[in-house]
Amino acid sequence: MKILGMLYGMAIGDALGMPSELWSRRKVKDYFGEITEFLDGPKENDVACNFTKGQFTDDTSQALLILDALKETKFVPKEEIIANKLLEWANRTKAFDNNILGPSSKAALFAIKSGENKKLITDKALTNGASMRIAPIGALFHPKQKQDLAEYVYHVSKVTHSSDVAVGGAAMIAYAVSAAIFDKPWDEIINGSIDIYHVAKQRGAETFTASMPERLRLAVHFADSHKGNQEAFCQRIYDVIGCGTTTSESVPAAIAIAYYARNVKDCALLCANIGGDTDTIGAMATAICGAKEGFEKINRHWVEMINSENDINLTYYAKLLRANKFYAKGE
């Protein structure tokens, strides 16, 4: 039930963070006061205005589309199949016109659609499109399989994101999910996420950015030094680590928030209220907490909202992941 917990955590964090997506922390506070439940996307938010309460966004949608693509190829990643699935979804949802796609994914998919060389885009992609949709891949691997996981993350991600930063950040999220499913201690989740970054980044095209391992270490320090003071912790993450759309901000922020919250409810609400890329940080962080906590402990009202407001069967995807895992023994 930990894999199912991860999937619902991802969807819940995404949907709760949707209304405040890409608004500043001040604006989130001024408009909502505090988000405590699923809400419609405000008409004033041109990114969230087309969503209603309980609906998840492109983060969860793309994560599940990738699983659909992998099923077709018996879980051997095929770039063309993944690209076709993403393009079909983008065309069906009018994602190119409705401001649904992130900038790197939008540009890469448009290049594929136009028959252009997408590597000119994907090799420089520093945004979090690969990380936001990678959580389910962590369920396929044992946390000891760092090399295998890093390689798999690269092949799944490179359709839109092939930079060292994007691949490294996605591997950090996938590893954290894997370790959480196997109920590893939080310190091991953090240290393993840092370790796999150095393994995974070697597979991507070289770019430059602030160090994600160092940002994560600092973010964990903030979590430890602000125990019992959520407001102070979140403000430090927002001000110093950053909650923007770049991988180097949102990935260490998400892992640190999961480390601080340690359960789905608190994690999803912290992410929804923190400001910035709230739905993506929520999807990543709360997937980790869902994997650690397990499905049984997730608020049943929230589960029912995800089920009723999204045309999807997450139990089906949990069974699919369990049936195709790359380690010998299950959870």
Question: Which residues are annotated as part of the binding site?
Answer: 57-59, 277, 279-280
- Which residues lie closer than 8 Å to 79 by C-beta, 6 or more apart? 155, 158, 159
Rounded CA separation 113/146 (Å): 33
CA torsion, points 252, 253, 256, 260, in degrees to nearest 10?
180
Both tokens assigned to 283: 């999807």
Known binding-site residue numbers for Mg(2+): 57-59, 277, 279-280
At 77, the amino acid letter reads: P
Give Cα 283 distance to the centre of its chain.
5
Rounded CA separation 193/168 (Å): 9
- What are the two backbone dihedrals, phi and then psi, of residue 204, each rounded to the nearest 5 degrees? -95, 165
Q: Which helix (H) or strand (E) holds 7?
A: helix 2-17
What are the angstrom distances between the C-alpha of 318 and each of 4, 6, 74, 101, 155? 5, 9, 16, 25, 21
